[in-house]
Structure 1
Amino acid sequence: MNYPNHHPNSSTAAEQSGSAQARLDAAFALPFGPVREQRITEAVLELIAAEIGHRKTAIA
């Protein structure tokens, strides 16, 4: 991202986003079914939370 690094936790947010992206990629590789859908949902929500945390560090 092109945001300046004003927040000390921004590297943590980037790491969280990267690990959530890896889990999302792994979830898409699973066979179709409820487990796949659950893992995709969890990974997407984690990505959203990491992005919000990166942009608005006051929101927890």
Structure 2
Amino acid sequence: MDRAVHELKKQAAKIGANGVILGGTGEKYESYSGFTPNAGGGGYFYSGTTEYQALQGDAIYVY
């Protein structure tokens, strides 16, 4: 989570903000699947889910 907060601050600074108001946090999931053929005419199918932490915030500028 510390890495996500650092990245959020860095992105906010790029647009001139000097602060961030943290909004929501949570987990996101992405599923993937595919098929990889092999030279023998067969292949293999794969699938899985990637889970990662998400962080939302608003960039602000305070005088």
Structure number, greater radius of gyration: 2
- Normalised by the length of structure 1, the TM-score is 0.28
> Higher strand proportion, which one?
2
